[in-house]
A and B are shown apart, each in its own frame.
Chain A
Amino acid sequence: MNVQLPSNDMGVEHMSNRKFSRMTYPLAAASVLALTLSACAGGGGGTGGGAGGSDAEANLDGRGPITYVQGKDNSNVVRPLIEKWNAAHPNEQVTFKEQTDEADQQHDDLVQNFQAKNANYDVMSVDLIWVAEFAAKGWLQPLKDKMAISTDGLLKATVESSTYNNTLYTVPQTSDGGMLYYRKDLVPTPPKTWDEMMSMCSIAKENNIGCYAGQHAKYEGLTVNAAEAINSFGGEIVDNSGKATVNSDEAKEGLGKLAEAYKDGNIPAEAITYTEEEGRIDFQAGKLLFHRNWPYVYKLATTEASSAVKDVLGLAPLPGMSGPGASSLGGHNVGVSVYSKNKATALDFLKYIISEETQRFYVTQGSLAPAMEKLYDDPQLVAQLPYLTTLKTSIENAVPRPVTPFYPAVTKAIQDNAYAAMKGEKAVDSAVSDMQSAMEAAGAK
């Protein structure tokens, strides 16, 4: 950047200097703006044009090669599945497009390709919290009429998470639910209700360990935990039509239970910084009596050499108001892009994904919880993954996280206010009513 100017003539130098500075302002200005804005430069188009009517009607009979898009295949199940499909369908080959393993990046990649109406993104794995957004933008092919697909035998909550505005837009591929991990040596019978669990916290105190922790740092995990508390006590975050309905006494009671437990120290102070991994490490080190987490913890807590709870690990459904609590549902669904050229092939591929054979493969090969109900009672699978029975109860009682096209704003409203309520910076009542107004301001009304 150093520019050496002729120095024999002061006048020249002065002039050039001024000229340079004059040039510099707009240039520097422009480059700074470009840096700040480059992130949203791709967003010109905005919406996908309302109902996406014509796109959704086109190519319904198209057959030919398709592309399947999914985040990083950590469990190594996608490639074998596709190889098998390709062997049977030589004229309708599936190509696997693998994204990164960061959820946010997967979301943004899908959005960009939908906006560009990329016909090469035919079938995609969609985190269930994005289904409503993509459907409302008109990017997902409605699975009705010619594209209809049967969801019989799939868990009800997973199908609900695939549905927007009473229309099915995706099919559930894998599922996930929260469970309560506990110390069998200290608690002979697991608590059925939240209050019962809190009353057992004296045991934790006697043993000088923390009582309960879930995921309470301010991120998506807090939405999951707060929604579980609210749903378990009969509250509701958004109703079927997508309207925010969180401002209720039930929701206040649910969130109040979390806030109270944190205030009492039943949830240790440091848990306010916990995501899944910090909590798991604490529990595995024997420092927690109860721990809410996903099924992946089971394998680690029972097999890792450093695990102190290997032999005393207990597993139970989440505790609720008077019975099992309402877990938040996790998992991925599969949908078809409205811009796909070969939708008939895509539909066949969807049927292949929810077939019993594929669903079984997900469990045995990838330890991924299936969306098919009867597999949870399969003795062979239960022997392999003993948590399936508990997980079934959890998913049967699960509530999908708020199904709303404004999910990013809704989850922020929940996180910010639940966090403030837990830390005692805000009364639970006003936290819940702020949640309601923040969701309404975002459009969920």
Chain B
Amino acid sequence: MSTDVTKKAPTTEAAHHMPGRESADRKQVTQGRWASVLLAPSLILLGIVIIYPVVNAIIMSFQKDSGLDPATGFFVEGGPAGFENYTHWLLQQCNGVPCPPGTLGAQFWDSFGVTFFFTAVTVALETVLGFWMAVIMARSFRGRSAIRAAVLVPWAIPTAVTAKLWFFIFAFQGIANQLFNTQILWTGSEWPAKWAIIIADVWKTTPFMALLILAGLQLIPDEVYEAAKVDGASAWQRFTLITLPLVKPALMVAILFRVLDALRMFDLPYIMTQGANGTSTLSILVVQQIRQGFNTAAALSTITFLVIFIVAFIFVRFLGANAVAAASTGGKKK
């Protein structure tokens, strides 16, 4: 793709300087027409797989869930809901009263907090550990490519399988308790359950983080380090003044991906604890709500989406994690 664009650019440039600009303009017009024709299939595809479900879900979120007609015992259409489905979650109102414990509505803000807690802790741990692994993998040593491949194994295992593995490890008679000779109810009490999930998540996704950072590290030319050495910079100075700033674009993209991923976290807590003991994330809430009523679930999905969108926006806008452009233009931009 990159060669395509660079090759084409000079030709267009040349066309501008050619005599007879009209023909060049026409050429551009026809090119533009061609471009839209060629782009149409992918745009239509995007429309079908992305725009339609999104719009449909937003429309659904303003409909009431079907209610039971006490006279017949059958469900009837709920009709328009206004913002009721949204206030149900945000204000935790169930039909005009505060949602009692044991309803999904009562869990919204708890799950909201839990989701962000998991995101903050897991991404922080994964960044630090991933960086460390990347620095090691960036050195040249025998069997480096084997290590790089091996590191990907936890990432390659399907999350559901990982979750089941850790579920057995953290069972009361599981390996974790046997190994440390403890009697902790890992999945049966609040903080152990949270840490069990964090440990499993860090184990699974640190390699992904490490490889993304490694890609960033390898873009830094060796000459820069050599020059710094000649100038007498210490290892710490080389790390903070060269490695960190130069790897920052790749690092921010890696963090952005992980944050978006972690905010959607579902499989690990769902399989390990079923959301019990304060480990219910927003995605778990959505899935549980789908079984109780699609329209209320659509409202929750939309809320979840907006939350994730705002977080992504903050990252891209203020922290310079531009997933599309920054990775390639690198440090040059600043």
Q: Which residues of A contact B (CB under 8 A)?
A: 1-6, 8-9, 12-13, 17, 20-21, 24-25, 27-41, 43-44, 46-48, 50-52, 104, 107-108, 135-138, 164-165, 217-219, 242, 269-270, 272-273, 278, 281-282, 405-406, 408-409, 412-417, 419-420, 426, 434-435, 437-438, 441-443
* Residue numbers in B under 8 Å from A31 (CB-CB): 50
* Residue numbers in A under 8 Å from B56 (CB-CB): 41, 44
- A30-B50, A33-B302, A441-B95 known; 10 new pairs, CB 8 Å cut-off, are A4-B2, A20-B324, A35-B264, A44-B294, A137-B66, A218-B273, A269-B185, A273-B186, A437-B100, A438-B102
CA gap between A35 and B124 in the complex, in Å: 24
Interface code B196-225, partner A: CB below 8 Å = 1, 0 otherwise? 000000000000000000000000000000
CA gap between A219 and B302 in the complex, in Å: 27
B177, closest chain A residue (CB): A270
| Complex partner residue of B9 from A6, A32, A164, A412, CB under 8 angstroms | A6
- CB under 8 Å from chain A, chain B span 83-132: 94-95, 97, 99-106
Please state if A438 and B100 are interface contacts (CB–CB under 8 Å): yes
Please state if B102 and A412 are interface contacts (CB–CB under 8 Å): yes
* Residue numbers in A under 8 Å from B304 (CB-CB): 36
CA gap between A43 and B65 in the complex, in Å: 11
A-contacting 9-mer, from B25-33, B73-81, B140-148: B73-81
Please state if A441 and B103 are interface contacts (CB–CB under 8 Å): yes
Query: Is B60 engaged at the interface, CB distance under 8 Å to the other chain?
Result: yes
Query: Is B297 engaged at the interface, CB distance under 8 Å to the other chain?
Result: yes
Please state if A51 and B74 are interface contacts (CB–CB under 8 Å): yes
A37-B53, A40-B290, A136-B73 as given contacts; A6 in contact with B6, CB under 8 Å: yes
A2-B2, A219-B274 as given contacts; A278 in contact with B101, CB under 8 Å: no
| Complex partner residue of A413 from B102, B301, B313, CB under 8 angstroms | B102
Specify which of B2, B101, B104, B286 lies most central, judged by the most chain A CB atoms within 10 Å of its CB: B101
* Residue numbers in B under 8 Å from A13 (CB-CB): 329
Query: Is B176 engaged at the interface, CB distance under 8 Å to the other chain?
Result: no
CA gap between A38 and B73 in the complex, in Å: 31
CA gap between A302 and B69 in the complex, in Å: 50
- CB under 8 Å from chain A, chain B span 248-270: 260, 264
Please state if B2 and A3 are interface contacts (CB–CB under 8 Å): yes
Show 21 A/B contacts (Cβ-Cβ < 8 Å), sorted by A. A4-B5, A5-B328, A21-B322, A24-B316, A30-B51, A32-B312, A37-B305, A39-B286, A40-B60, A40-B301, A47-B77, A104-B291, A136-B75, A217-B187, A217-B276, A219-B274, A273-B172, A408-B288, A408-B291, A412-B104, A413-B102
* Residue numbers in A under 8 Å from B101 (CB-CB): 416-417, 420, 426, 434, 438
A36-B305, A40-B298 as given contacts; A4 in contact with B75, CB under 8 Å: no
Query: Is B138 engaged at the interface, CB distance under 8 Å to the other chain?
Result: no
A45, closest chain B residue (CB): B294
CA gap between A17 and B326 in the complex, in Å: 9
A173 smallest CB distance to B (angstroms): 23
| Complex partner residue of B72 from A38, A51, A443, CB under 8 angstroms | A51
A372 smallest CB distance to B (angstroms): 28
Please state if A34 and B294 are interface contacts (CB–CB under 8 Å): no
CA gap between A38 and B298 in the complex, in Å: 10
Query: Is B68 engaged at the interface, CB distance under 8 Å to the other chain?
Result: yes
In order of increasing CB-CB distance, the 7 nearest A-B pairs are A4-B2, A43-B294, A438-B102, A437-B100, A218-B276, A165-B73, A441-B94
* Residue numbers in A under 8 Å from B63 (CB-CB): 46
Query: Is B323 engaged at the interface, CB distance under 8 Å to the other chain?
Result: yes
A143 smallest CB distance to B (angstroms): 15
* Residue numbers in A under 8 Å from B329 (CB-CB): 5, 13, 17
Please state if B73 and A3 are interface contacts (CB–CB under 8 Å): no
Please state if B292 and A406 are interface contacts (CB–CB under 8 Å): yes
| Complex partner residue of A278 from B72, B172, B273, CB under 8 angstroms | B172
Please state if A32 and B291 are interface contacts (CB–CB under 8 Å): no
* Residue numbers in B under 8 Å from A21 (CB-CB): 316, 322, 324-325
Query: Is B67 engaged at the interface, CB distance under 8 Å to the other chain?
Result: yes
| Complex partner residue of B298 from A35, A37, A165, CB under 8 angstroms | A37
Interface SS of A by simple majority? helix
Please state if B53 and A412 are interface contacts (CB–CB under 8 Å): no
Please state if B54 and A30 are interface contacts (CB–CB under 8 Å): yes
* Residue numbers in A under 8 Å from B104 (CB-CB): 409, 412
B110 smallest CB distance to A (angstroms): 12
CA gap between A350 and B171 in the complex, in Å: 43
A31, closest chain B residue (CB): B50
Please state if A20 and B325 are interface contacts (CB–CB under 8 Å): yes
Please state if B171 and A39 are interface contacts (CB–CB under 8 Å): no
CA gap between A164 and B74 in the complex, in Å: 10
* Residue numbers in A under 8 Å from B1 (CB-CB): 3-4
Please state if A408 and B100 are interface contacts (CB–CB under 8 Å): no
* Residue numbers in B under 8 Å from A138 (CB-CB): 74-75
A166 smallest CB distance to B (angstroms): 9
Interface code B267-287, partner A: CB below 8 Å = 1, 0 otherwise? 000000111110000010011
Interface code B31-54, partner A: CB below 8 Å = 1, 0 otherwise? 000000000000000100111011
A43-B60, A46-B295, A219-B274 as given contacts; A24 in contact with B74, CB under 8 Å: no
A166, closest chain B residue (CB): B73
Query: Is B331 engaged at the interface, CB distance under 8 Å to the other chain?
Result: no
B218 smallest CB distance to A (angstroms): 14
- CB under 8 Å from chain A, chain B span 306-334: 308-309, 312-313, 316, 322-325, 327-329
CA gap between A26 and B277 in the complex, in Å: 36
A426, closest chain B residue (CB): B101
B311, closest chain A residue (CB): A32
Query: Is B57 engaged at the interface, CB distance under 8 Å to the other chain?
Result: yes
CA gap between A138 and B74 in the complex, in Å: 7
Query: Is B82 engaged at the interface, CB distance under 8 Å to the other chain?
Result: no
Please state if B312 and A41 are interface contacts (CB–CB under 8 Å): no
Query: Is B245 engaged at the interface, CB distance under 8 Å to the other chain?
Result: no
* Residue numbers in A under 8 Å from B69 (CB-CB): 50
Please state if B57 and A409 are interface contacts (CB–CB under 8 Å): no
* Residue numbers in A under 8 Å from B290 (CB-CB): 39-40, 43
CA gap between A252 and B83 in the complex, in Å: 37
* Residue numbers in B under 8 Å from A217 (CB-CB): 187-188, 274, 276
B305, closest chain A residue (CB): A33
* Residue numbers in A under 8 Å from B292 (CB-CB): 406, 408-409, 442
